């Protein structure tokens, strides 16, 4: 019954910004860590960011650290990914996941580590 819905993707020029949203239902949102994953064509789905259940800590992959910020609003059952200074290599389908361990090794996470997936939201960064 867990349902995750990603939104906010689009086409942006290099250097631009975008904010993704992930709205969850069917779970105790305030009790679980949240993650963002992405999957580029021909590549595996990989973790890019995670945030603790209470928003107290967050971790990022090497490729996005300093440019992306994960946040959450537990009253809205929503997690966000603010993406700044976007690069063409950020182009991917972005997904969120709930209930996974949030550690500095977030970039090692793959699709098998997730439990429920939404449809994803496409981010395309033009050069």
Give me the chain's average pLDDT, please.
Answer: 96
Residue 126, pLDDT score = 98
Distance CA 48, CA 59 (A): 8
Q: What does the pLDDT read at residue 124?
A: 98
* Residue 74, number of CB atoms within 10 A of its CB: 15
pLDDT per residue over 89-100, tens digit each? 999 999 999 999
pLDDT in tens, 53-78: 999 999 999 999 999 999 999 999 99
Alpha-carbon 81 to chain mean position: 6
| Total residue length of the chain | 127
pLDDT band, residue 115 (cuts 50/70/90): confident
**Cβ neighbours for 36, distance < 8 A, ≥ 6 positions apart:** 20, 22, 47, 48, 49, 50, 70, 79, 81, 94, 95, 96, 97
> Is the pLDDT at 80 greater than 90, yes or no?
yes
35 has a pLDDT exceeding 90: yes
């Amino acid at each position: 019954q867990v349902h995750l819905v990603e939104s906010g993707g689009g086409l942006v020029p290099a250097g631009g910004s975008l904010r993704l949203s992930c709205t969850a239902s069917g779970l105790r949102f305030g009790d679980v860590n949240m993650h963002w994953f992405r999957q580029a064509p021909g590549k595996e789905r990989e973790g890019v960011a995670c945030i603790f259940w209470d928003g107290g800590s967050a971790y990022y992959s090497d490729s996005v650290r300093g440019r992306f910020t994960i946040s959450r609003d537990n009253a809205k059952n929503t997690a966000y990914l603010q993406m700044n200074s976007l690069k063409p290599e950020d182009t991917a389908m972005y997904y969120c996941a709930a209930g996974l361990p949030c550690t500095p090794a977030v970039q090692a996470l793959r699709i098998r580590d997730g439990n429920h997936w939404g449809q994803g939201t496409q981010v395309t960064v033009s050069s």
